[in-house]
A and B are shown apart, each in its own frame.
Chain A
């Protein structure tokens, strides 16, 4: 038996599928939307559609991009010899804020996580290997999050994927809060972690 009108039920259902939104939050957001002006709801709906229509993943690094390649890949002034591997596009934003990194990025779009059925094949790891083989890269910086899954992904990349290449592989120095997400690390911490990165190879 539905407790609310059908459209409300559908909205709660859809919101509940978003990451980090539980049933109770979904209900709260749905009723918030019900109370707001139609203009505001329209703006949210437009933003959702626009992001799907106009933005996709960069064909080269899998950052978000308006067009085939992202702004960073299109920027000729970036250093082609250093590649920073991150889990999510949001991590690029965090790194860029430090102003300490001028190389290029590669986004894996996740980390190895068997509990969620994510193995190396579900990530952009094959694409990473292709780039390392074809681009003039001397150093790969692994900037996975400092948690179990991030560390395991970094270990997988350095021991199984990047080992055959004649490049330096480094891991961001710890000093980041354990169990934390890169996104929340402040610029200073992240900048220091970048300077103190240690070699794995």
Chain B
């Protein structure tokens, strides 16, 4: 699905905002603090119903307003699609697609596919294994929305199993042991399924990662992606039996997909600890590019690419390489300073401090030199408290 137009109402800093997107590359320019990231956050939320910054719903609603509304008009398979999401302080998030109420999150996933590149992506390389697992899990949902329910079921089983282990207070009586057997079965079943999904994903992602990294770095560096399980027995069921005493003593589930790692090695060295900052940034971008490419190949449609202020973190060569190799499809990029030469966005939108949006002529460097040619939205509305 491609988006043509997005409206925000009472979303974060935006009381009211309307923006038109090109089907190619749209540059959203504006000073820091005008709400460019908020705009991308809203667009991504239409796809997953979650903030990519991990913000709770409450904080997405403008102060003083009771609900925030995001609407987007787009095209899918040559048909018009309207997605509307209302976030409420009380009660549940309401979602409509073409004015039809959507009952379950799972039914929305897949309507609009979005991939976000953000400065925080560096955490995928630098931080602990949880960030890399999240990368894999989110990509699996993009490729197949049904994976979302497997992931949430597994999450629930782990929470329940940990609660039971905690209640044991280090000693397992017979009754608790019998109950734990049943949770172990459940955990082993779901966990094996997820682990195998992740391993398959890493296998097909590997070559694309290698290629994306080479494109961005301008040289071929051996890049190895390996999925490491947190257990070594033949099955997780057996491993849980072997590890039961440890789990009981520590009061927590010590093995399972929630403890696995995606090991990324650059030229044989651990990227997390031994790569330079520049290499780590390049690797994070390569992870996103590879994921985008895989999703495009698999789905036959490029996900909407949202690039949140990624250029400011890159050196000029890498920024140029990224822009030169942006995957085909629709993209939105935000920047405070404009896009470097020779990038030509198909449309340039400028967000002003007072929240007005202007279509700007797309000059070569993406900067706005002339007065805006046309106003969109609500330039004459009152400023808000």
- Give the B-binding residues of A (Cβ under 8 A): 22, 24, 112-115, 117, 119-121, 148-149, 151-152, 155-156, 159-160, 178-179
Contacts and interface: CB of A to CB of B under 8 A. Distances in A.
Q: Which of A22, A114, A151, A156 counts the most B-chain CB atoms under 10 A from its CB?
A: A114
A178 B176 contact: no
Contacts of B181: 159-160
B175 interface: yes
Contacts of B22: none
Nearest to B167: A114
Nearest to A117: B167
Q: Is the interface of A mostly helix, strand, loop or mixed?
A: helix
Interface stretch (B151-159, B236-244, B351-359): B151-159
16 contacts: A22-B90, A113-B160, A114-B161, A115-B163, A119-B179, A121-B175, A148-B186, A149-B160, A152-B183, A152-B186, A155-B182, A155-B185, A156-B182, A159-B181, A178-B149, A179-B104
Given A117-B167, A120-B175, A159 B157 contact: no
Nearest to A116: B163
A160 B163 CA distance: 20
Contact of A24 (B90, B176, B179): B90
Contacts of B182: 112, 152, 155-156, 159-160
Q: Is the interface of B mostly helix, strand, loop or mixed?
A: helix
Given A121-B175, A152-B183, 9 more contacts: A114-B160, A114-B161, A114-B163, A114-B164, A115-B163, A119-B175, A148-B156, A149-B160, A156-B179
B160 A115 contact: yes
A139 B52 CA distance: 50
A14 to B, nearest CB: 20
Contacts of B183: 152
B178 interface: yes
Contacts, number: 50
Given A156-B182, A160-B182, A148 B160 contact: yes
B234 to A, nearest CB: 22
A121 B182 CA distance: 15
Nearest to A154: B182
Contacts of A112: 179, 182
Ordered nearest first, which 8 A-B pairs have the shortest CB separation? Answer: A114-B163, A114-B164, A115-B163, A156-B182, A148-B156, A155-B182, A114-B160, A24-B90
Nearest to B183: A152
B163 A151 contact: no
Interface of B: 90, 104, 149, 153, 156-157, 159-161, 163-164, 167, 175-176, 178-179, 181-183, 185-186
A148 B149 contact: no
Contacts of B178: 120, 156, 160
A160 B178 CA distance: 7
A149 B186 CA distance: 10
A112 B164 CA distance: 10
Contacts of A114: 160-161, 163-164, 167, 179
A152 B160 contact: yes
A113 B183 CA distance: 11
Contacts of B179: 112, 114, 119-120, 156
Contacts of B167: 114, 117
A148 B157 contact: yes
A24 B90 CA distance: 8
A22 B92 CA distance: 13
Contacts of A178: 149
Nearest to B165: A114
A114 B178 CA distance: 13
A120 B173 CA distance: 13
A72 to B, nearest CB: 29
A5 to B, nearest CB: 24
Nearest to A180: B104
A114 B161 CA distance: 7
Contacts of B104: 179
A75 B175 CA distance: 36
A113 B186 CA distance: 14
Q: Which of A22, A112, A152 counts the most B-chain CB atoms under 10 A from its CB?
A: A152
Contacts of A113: 160
